[in-house]
Amino acid sequence: MIRTYKFKLYKSKRLKCLHELVNLSAEIYNHCIALHKRHYKFYGKSLNLYRLQKHITRLKKLPKYAHWNNLGSQAIQSITERIDEGYKKFFRHENKRPPTFKKKRKYKSFTLKGFVGYKLNNNILTINKRNYKLWLSKKIEGKIKTLTVKRDSLGDFWVLATALVGNVKPANRATSGKSVGVDFGLKTFLTLGGRHLTLTGKEREIESPLYFLNSIGEIRKLSRALSKKKKGSNNRRKARFDLARLHRKIAFQRDDFFHKTANMLAFEYEYVFIEDLNLNGMQRLWGRKVSDISYGGFVNILSYKTNVVKIDRFYPSSKECYDCGYVYRELSLKERVWICPNCGNAHKRDNNAADNIHRVGTSTLAGGIVRPTMPANAVDSRIPCL
């Protein structure tokens, strides 16, 4: 299993050197994009990764490009690989646009691989013989695979280290064999399901913290202030920082909520069943709020802490009556409570869905085939049953 660690670097004047390295990455990145474009124009086909890398090796020997050597060759290699991947995805129609030029200010990071080009000794990170102190909030376990130095929109620096760790889950994880079904919603972030649960009413629900929506007034105010400032002025820079600071704060709050909620679930349940969410479809249906909530980020955190089992996303969890199996196709999104036309039982929409997810989840876990999964590409644009 791969784990990502994130540490903040202490502020210091020396960070200027890291700024320079990120800017240099942007320069190299843009140079490669230009090469790609030119190659395509002349030959009508994509520039091969190895040819590009060879070309860069030659460039680095020229006096004009000697400063490129400040950035480790690993970092340059990962830039070329990332661009290559971007083009491949574009040609496979997975991305709408090919990689494009990026402004220096908007360029964020460079990545080093393995143990080359840096040293990490406890809380001291050494790059190009300069030491940077980092806020080591956690001990890194396992071997480091990649190390990314990232600057955020406030000019602060972070180190993201990915490490290969054994298949260990945190110590406070449940081993009870207990399981739960989870239905995601908007106002209610999640509803817990499974008829074995002894939770009642509100205990089954975790409300959404719509930080973003609550802060939207403030965001609007700051964006308006930013747009009024003269371009290139110091005041504009300050206004941009104010806005970035607010965005960062909201992101931290959301992360905190995710970790607490995930810990709570992992503490109690060994298996969590969820629907394999089609986020694009959900976003089209629900609008911006879905991306504010970022279910994907939550599921990611949760799967570090406990076993997440995804069930077929086209299983009609909300529309099927838990008691008799009747599928009530006409159920609309507005109906929060419905009565089964077949058996007459009343259902709260989210509770019924979560109960169904739990039942399907347990049979998935037992090895039973619930229903054939359709090939993903054929149904990508469909909206999931909610």
Residues that bind Zn ion (CB under 5 A): 321, 323-324, 326, 340, 342-343
Question: Which CB atom, from 305 or from 347, has the smaller least distance to Zn ion?
Answer: 347
For the bound state, the minimum distance from the C-beta of residue 339 to Zn ion, rounded and expressed in Å, comes to 9
Of residues 312 and 323, the one with the C-beta less far from Zn ion? 323
Query: Minimum distance from CB of 161 to Zn ion (Å)?
Result: 52
Rounded to whole angstroms, the Cα distance separating 221 from 243 reads 9
Q: Largest alpha-carbon pair distance within the chain? A: 82
Compute the distance between CA of residue 380 and CA of residue 122 in angstroms, rounded to an integer: 45
**Rounded Cα distance, 256 and 366, in Å:** 33
What's the min distance (Å) between Cβ of 346 and Zn ion?
10
Q: How far is the CB of 167 from Zn ion (least distance, A)?
A: 41
- 117 within 8 A of 144, measured Cβ to Cβ: no
User: Which residue number, 347 or 358, has a Cβ lying nearer to Zn ion?
Assistant: 347
* Beta carbon nearer to Zn ion, 242 or 323: 323
What are the angstrom distances between the C-alpha of 106 and each of 15, 101, 360? 17, 10, 45
Least distance (Å) between residue 331 CB and Zn ion? 12
- Cβ proximity to Zn ion, 74 vs 356, nearer residue: 356
Question: Closer to Zn ion at the Cβ: 170 or 341?
Answer: 341
Strands (E), 90-187: 109-113, 119-121, 124-127, 130-135, 143-151, 157-164, 179-184
Burial environment of residue 79 by CB neighbours within 10 A (0 to 12, 13 to 18, 19 or more): buried
Nearer to Zn ion, 99 or 193 (CB): 193
Q: How far is CA 379 from the centre of its chain?
A: 23
233 vs 342, beta carbon nearer Zn ion: 342
Spatial separation of the C-alpha atoms in residues 35 and 101, rounded to whole Å? 11
Segment (H or E) for 7: strand 2-9
Cβ at position 345, least distance to Zn ion in Å: 5
Instruction: Quote the least distance from Cβ 365 to Zn ion, whole Å.
Output: 25
Least CB distance from residue 383 to Zn ion, whole Å? 24
- State the alpha helices, DSSP H only, in the chain: 15-43, 49-59, 73-91, 211-214, 216-228, 234-268, 279-286, 289-293, 295-305, 349-365, 376-379
